[in-house]
Amino acid sequence: MTNTSHRTDVAVIGAGPAGLFSIFQCGMMKMRCHVIDVLDATGGQCRALYPEKPIYDIPGHPKILAGDLVQKLEQQAAPFAPVFHLGQQVVKLEPADDARWRLETSTGVAINAKAVFIAAGVGAFGPNRPPLEGIEAFEGKSVHYMVKRREDFKGKRVVIAGGGDSAVDWALSLADIAAGVSIIHRRVKFRAAPGSADKLKELIDKGVIELVAPYQLAALEGSNGQIETVVARSLDGDERRLGADALLSFFGLSQTLGPIAEWGLNLDHNYIKVDPADYSAGKPGLFAIGDIASYPGKLKLILCGFAEAAVAAHAAYPLVHPDEALHFEYSTTGGAPGGK
């Protein structure tokens, strides 16, 4: 039984960068949005996992922190008065009367919309934990799967485990404020952007960062939630003991579509196949944008999600305003008026 009901033009599932930018695009065409996200705050992975990680490929921003990008997207969307339903998940999506869609959330909120933008990113996500005995006792205290505040590691001995972009980027970022940074990886080669990998090698060669490879995490030692030693072991059984105040473990995310998998969409593993002409998801009024959308040549970049949001908004306009012609207009001409 639902507790609250709403009617709107567009329901946006997911409040990550693509979802937030779709609010602005819809607002520019006088389409009102309600936004639902399972997290307690907007921003998706950018805010939940790496708010202080710099992003370098946002047009017009040579460098911007992920959290700052989210804040600017919120400011851009604010004039159009979006309604957010945070800390809840869309558990049901079904056709309603008059060619509309009905959504129901895990807290009993019902939303009736003319169009739905699924911008759910990777779906529900969580960290892949290393298989270390007793690691739960240290989680959230001295073992972390994300960095929310870079300053939290100032003056600390930090051990980073992993070989992807997150591990390399945070090793580089923390090198100048931590008391010491060691990076454990099962190979000498890293799966990171070439430029970042080159910078890491340079700091390793200078002795600024300690490389522990080819090794893997073997054990943690400490008490009362505070680690004191990280034990690493090679395939040959050689052991290294690293003094540490914090362990950052970056072994990727486990992801699941959750209820989205039950909505009868055209799925390709954990992604929704769309028509790249308008990002429609196979049913009238349904669109998928951002990382969850799949089509030939897809690039998982935030800037691509922005473009997808713009195209989907234009495609949704005749569904929301069927009797009104849309006259394409640049924002430099029409400005960005507030909305209701």
| pLDDT at residue 298, rounded to an integer | 95
Q: What pTM did the predictor assign?
A: 0.72
Q: At 96, is the pLDDT very low, low, confident or very high (cuts 50, 70, 90)?
A: very high
Give, rounded to a whole angstrom, the gap between the first and last alpha carbons of the chain: 28
Q: Quick one: tokens of 121? A: 């990113």
Q: All domains of the chain, ordered by start, with CATH?
A: 4-125+254-334 (3.50.50.60), 129-251 (3.50.50.60)
Separation between Cα atoms, residue 99 and residue 303, nearest integer Å: 31
Please tell me the predicted confidence (pLDDT) of residue 126: 66
Question: How many residues does this entry show for the chain?
Answer: 340
Using CA atoms, how far apart are residues 73 and 76, in angstroms rounded to an integer? 5
Residue range 99-113, pLDDT digits in tens: 899 999 999 999 999
Q: φ and ψ at 128, to 5 degrees?
A: -85, 115
Phi-psi region for residue 12, left (φ > 0), alpha (ψ -120 to 50) or beta?
Answer: beta
pLDDT digits (tens, 9 = 90+) for 174-211: 999 999 999 999 999 999 889 999 999 999 999 999 99
pLDDT tens digits, one per residue of 321-330: 998 888 777 7
Confidence (pLDDT) at 97: 81
Q: pLDDT for 142-162, tens place per residue?
A: 999 888 788 999 999 999 999
Task: Quick: pLDDT tens for 270-321.
Answer: 899 999 999 999 999 999 999 999 999 999 999 999 999 999 999 999 999 9
Give 53's pLDDT tier (boundaries 50, 70, 90).
Answer: confident
- Cα(7)–Cα(102) distance, rounded to whole angstroms? 9
What average pLDDT does the chain have?
91
**pLDDT tens, residue by residue, 200-244:** 999 999 999 999 999 999 999 999 999 999 999 998 999 999 999
Residues 63-78 have pLDDT tens digits of 999 999 999 999 999 9
Task: List residues bridging with 85 in a β-sheet.
Answer: 36
- Confidence (pLDDT) at 32: 98
